[in-house]
Amino acid sequence: MSAKKVSDLKKLQHWMFGYGTPETIAIVRILFGTLIFINLLMLMNVFEAFFTEKGFVPVAFAERWADGVPRLTVLAGVTDSRITLAVFIITMLGCVGTALGLFTRVSSAIMWLGLTSIHHRTPDLLHSGDTLMRAFALYIMVAPSGAVYSLDWLRKFKRTGDATVPEVSLWPHRLMAIQVAIVYFTTVWHKWGGSTWRDGTATWYTSQLHEFDRFPVPAFVDQQPFVAILTYGTLIVEIMLATTVFYKPLRKISLLLGIGLHLGIEYRFNIPLFAFLMIASYASFYEGFEWRAWVNKWKAKRQAKGQGQESHEPAIST
């Protein structure tokens, strides 16, 4: 193997398993803790319909769906809806703890286990946003996600006066970014096997499904050539979010196009939280030191505005 290839492999290994600042992981923790909480709050609205024995989905259906493979769930065989409700509430508390960074490791473990249990209890309700939540809940749990921007971090500062943020292993951060890239890469691969994505008419079909309707759009959006532009544009943006997003000069444009795509879907179609979850996951494409620079810049601006006011927040240093 040539020296250049060895050097490239080492760079890749350093990128994947090296050390760095934990801000990205903390921001993902805050965003996903909050969104998973909101998602569970929305599920509470259909609790009786889908999580009780008198609803549409008794627990026996989950066992049938499992197809003989044991599933990680604390709700296996639970027919008492009070226990199921308790699991919902404990999981939501785990989400609050995760978002705030309070007892972060325990809170995030509760969030992950509770969410996985709820998903395995009623898999018939799941959409891609749920799958992303479950994947990110795992990564947040295994990451040092409470190392900064958390109550744990503030408690440590108050106790010791030490505002140092340790460098952490970055592999959970990289797992998050690669996970998002896998989402987009495989969705394009799946779509490329479909005739309507190839002939440029796919978005017309989605626009006809009135059960998905949210806000109206002008008629030209559902006519050619706009339908073809949207269809091929979707594929291009999604493939960019799997590839060029890792190339710094094209990262910003890739993410902006992704945000545009998802906000468009959010406006038009009733797919709750999906856009916000995908956009939140984009935080993982930025390095911790970039987030830190933005936060410091924002703090400096705020301090300049409120001159004379004493700050009680710890200044971050490594």
Partner 1 sequence: MQCLVLFHLFAIFIWTWPQPSANLNREPVTMADRAQRARDQLLAANNRLRYESPLRYYLQVTGFWQYWDMFAPNPANTDSWLTAEIEYADGEVVKAEYPRIQHMPIPEKYVNERYRKFTERLHPIDQSYKWAQFAYRMAYLHPRADKAVPVRVRLYKHFRIYAVAFKNEPKVQDEQFFELVVDPNTYRTWGSK
Site for partner 1 in 138-177 (CB under 8 A): 138, 171, 175
Taking residue 298's Cβ as centre, other Cβ atoms within 10 Å add up to: 10
Burial class (CB in 10 A: 0-12, 13-18, 19+), 316: middle
The stretch among 60-68, 159-167, 283-291, 294-302 that binds partner 1 (CB under 8 A) is 60-68
CB of 234 to partner 1, least distance (A): 8
Applying CB under 8 A, among 56, 157, 232, 246 the residue interacting with partner 1 is 56
Our CB check for partner 1 shows the closer of 150 and 284 to be: 284
By CB under 8 A, the residues from 287 to 316 that bind partner 1 are none
By CB under 8 A, the residues from 61 to 100 that bind partner 1 are 61, 64, 66, 69-72, 79
CB of 60 to partner 1, least distance (A): 9
CB of 181 to partner 1, least distance (A): 10
As given in the structure block, the two tokens for residue 253 are 């444009």
Applying CB under 8 A, among 10, 14, 214, 297 the residue interacting with partner 1 is 214
Applying CB under 8 A, among 57, 59, 143, 239 the residue interacting with partner 1 is 57
> Taking CB under 8 A as the rule, does residue 229 contact partner 1?
no
Burial class (CB in 10 A: 0-12, 13-18, 19+), 44: middle
For the chain, helix, strand, coil in percent to 5 are 70, 5, 25
Applying CB under 8 A, among 187, 217, 221, 232 the residue interacting with partner 1 is 187
Helical residues (DSSP H) of 54-199, grouped into ranges: 59-66, 81-100, 104-121, 128-142, 151-160, 171-192, 195-198
Applying CB under 8 A, among 105, 155, 156, 191 the residue interacting with partner 1 is 191
By CB under 8 A, the residues from 17 to 36 that bind partner 1 are 17
For residue 317, list its beta bridge partners.
164
> Taking CB under 8 A as the rule, does residue 131 contact partner 1?
yes
> Taking CB under 8 A as the rule, does residue 239 contact partner 1?
no
Residue 299: closest CA among 149, 190, 160, 97:
149
CB of 249 to partner 1, least distance (A): 25
Q: Report phi then psi at 181, rounded to 5.
A: -65, -40
CB of 261 to partner 1, least distance (A): 12
- Would you call the peptide bond into 123 cis, given omega within 30 degrees of 0 as the criterion? no
Applying CB under 8 A, among 34, 196, 243, 244 the residue interacting with partner 1 is 196
CB of 227 to partner 1, least distance (A): 8
Would you say 284 and 24 are in contact if contact means Cβ atoms under 8 Å apart? yes
The residue type found at 230 is L
By CB under 8 A, the residues from 259 to 278 that bind partner 1 are 270-272
- Residue positions counted in the chain: 318
> Taking CB under 8 A as the rule, does residue 110 contact partner 1?
no
User: Buried b / exposed e across 236-247, counting CB within 10 Å, b at 16+?
Assistant: ebbbbbbebbee
Our CB check for partner 1 shows the closer of 7 and 224 to be: 224
Would you say 74 and 117 are in contact if contact means Cβ atoms under 8 Å apart? yes
Applying CB under 8 A, among 183, 237, 241, 255 the residue interacting with partner 1 is 183
Our CB check for partner 1 shows the closer of 96 and 271 to be: 271
Q: Alpha-carbon distance 229 to 231, whole Å?
A: 6
How crowded is the C-beta side of 260, counted as CA atoms within 13 Å?
Answer: 13
The stretch among 23-31, 154-162, 204-212, 255-263 that binds partner 1 (CB under 8 A) is 204-212
